[in-house]
Amino acid sequence: MKNMRIYKIKNLLGGLSLVSLVAYGSVKNEVHPNVSSLRTPKTEKLLASLKSIPSKGVMFGHHDDTVYGIGWEGEAGRSDVKSVCGDYPAVISFDLGNLELGDTANLDKVPFSRIRKEILNQYCRGGMVSLSWHLRNPLTGGDAWDVKDTTVVKSILPGGINHTKFLGWLSRVASFINSLQTSSGVKVPVLFRPWHEHTGSWFWWGEKLCTASDYKQLWRMTVETLRTKGVDNALYAYSTGDCQTTAQYLERYPGDDAIDVLGFDTYQFDRDQYLSTMAKSLAVLDSVGKAHHKVIAITETGYEGIKDPKWWTETLLPAIGNYPISYVLVWRNARERVTHFYAPYPGQVSADDFMTFYKNPRTLFASDVDLYK
């Protein structure tokens, strides 16, 4: 039922499972041996809420939802999803790409000041924000998709020629996440999802671009550095591309002490292929999630241009089935690339079906959740 608020009554400070993160480099370090100092109470509440969400339903998410859409940009309060169903997504994601350079806007030309404001707005709605990071290539100066050189990850690890430079990049990320505060000084929790789709080889941190050990070290260095810089309002998501087996899923997993949410990214190109990939990937994700006691999510998905009028109820919902995923997030409605959209807008062929999807008691939007109470 829509507009049903979800209240959390758990003792959210109990049962912390996080242990201190061990070394990422050659020297063993222990960061914050006192686990309760790693995350703020609100961040712990978010994690507890994410764990309990699957008993209520699946949160719907959309990338860049409130910053632009089809035929508009930057209007306060606007959202293509809201224009269609009257409610905001329960999860909104934004990208930090180019923040590392000290730029004022991200790689998709969204000002970071606006992103900060929208993160606060989503927090006030009781919803969640996830942050991806399509960062530049620190060795070549190219973008995240510059995969010409296979030594990039090595170059930013301890001892590498770009290690110091990369720590500076992480400092900017830390400052941004630390700056997410309400007017009363409460730090706003976010789900940070860097180094995604690493089972493919289209980003410089991808499978064929670094060893499993280097990739794990990259993750641990990232989490440990952010924690050292005072980031206590982040949860961390590990998201592969499609995955066929548990072994493949876990090959580069940095460890339970570094990760809070497990997910994967997969898109529809062909419907049959999508349904079978979703079935395999969800079965793997579900079993790894249970074995590692982690929240699971479909961290990115969608059908570019949503050419199927019934995609939401006849493809996406059946694909998710009864798996206990906390959220499913579709990618952005680009205002600068005509067919590059993944959520409906008024008049789009799947808009009516999206309303049916919205009304389904299992789908949760912003007004259905209150993740920090």
Within a 10 A sphere around the Cβ of 306, how many other Cβ atoms? 25
Task: Give the DSSP H/E element, type plus range, for residue 132.
Answer: strand 128-132
Window 96-125: contact mask with ligand BMA (x via CB under 6 A): -----------xx-----------------
Alpha helical stretches, state H, 300-365: 311, 317-320, 351-359
To ligand BMA, the closest distance from the beta carbon of 337 in angstroms equals: 6
The size of the interface with ligand BMA (CB under 6 A), counted in residues, is: 6
User: What is the residue whose two structure tokens read 């991806």?
Assistant: 132
Cβ nearer to ligand BMA, comparing 44 with 108: 108
To ligand BMA, the closest distance from the beta carbon of 144 in angstroms equals: 8
- Burial of 64 (C-beta count, 10 Å sphere; 0-12/13-18/19+): buried
Q: Which of residues 125-144 bind ligand BMA (CB under 6 A)?
A: 134
Q: How many CA atoms lie within 13 A of 277 on its CB side?
A: 20
Q: What is the DSSP letter of 188?
A: P
Check residue 265 for interaction with ligand BMA (CB under 6 A): no
Amino acid sitting at position 296:
I
- C-alpha 51/C-alpha 295 separation (Å) is 6
To ligand BMA, the closest distance from the beta carbon of 95 in angstroms equals: 5
- What's the sign of the alpha-carbon dihedral 305, 297, 138, 248? negative
Window 57-96: contact mask with ligand BMA (x via CB under 6 A): --------------------------------------x-
Cβ nearer to ligand BMA, comparing 82 with 335: 335
To ligand BMA, the closest distance from the beta carbon of 189 in angstroms equals: 22
To ligand BMA, the closest distance from the beta carbon of 108 in angstroms equals: 5
- C-alpha 11/C-alpha 164 separation (Å) is 41
To ligand BMA, the closest distance from the beta carbon of 30 in angstroms equals: 35
**Which residues of this chain interact with ligand BMA, rule CB under 6 A?**
95, 107-108, 134, 331-332
